[in-house]
Amino acid sequence: MVEFKCPGCGWTHILNTDTGHRPAWAFNGDVDRPTLTPSINAWREYGGKRKTDRCHSFVTDGRIRFLDDCTHALAGQSVDLPSLPQTSQGT
Ligand SMILES: [Zn+2]
């Protein structure tokens, strides 16, 4: 599992990297310059009008690039991703 506090939407995105479970993301194993594929597409709906918050991003070489369909202030921008917390290495 890889998780990080997202600088765009403020949620903690938790990504499964165990290919035995779906969905699974490919992670390059570098906590300083992480690359995760495919894109992260998170959303939630709330309220009577079913307003939707969406966060859609690519993480490449330690940068997080938000796509234009994000609903937060960093839509369409790229920012540095803080270093990931060290993940415990299973054997
Ligand atoms: Zn996000």
- Show me where the domains of the chain are located: 2-80
Please spell the DSSP secondary structure of 6-55, one letter per residue.
-TTT--EEEE---TTSSS--EE-S-SSS--EEEEEEEEEEETTTTEEEEE
User: Distance, CA 70 to ligand 1 centroid (Å)?
Assistant: 8
User: Distance, CA 13 to ligand 1 centroid (Å)?
Assistant: 7
CA–CA dist 72, 70 (Å, integer): 6
User: Distance, CA 91 to ligand 1 centroid (Å)?
Assistant: 30
What is the distance, to the nearest Å, from the Cα of residue 4 to the centroid of all Cα atoms in its chain?
Answer: 7
What is the per-residue pLDDT across 28-86, written as a single tens digit (0 to 9) for each? 999 889 999 999 999 888 777 778 899 999 999 999 999 999 999 999 999 999 878 76
Residue 88 has pLDDT above 70, yes or no: no
Top pLDDT among 8 and 84 is at 8
User: Distance, CA 85 to ligand 1 centroid (Å)?
Assistant: 16
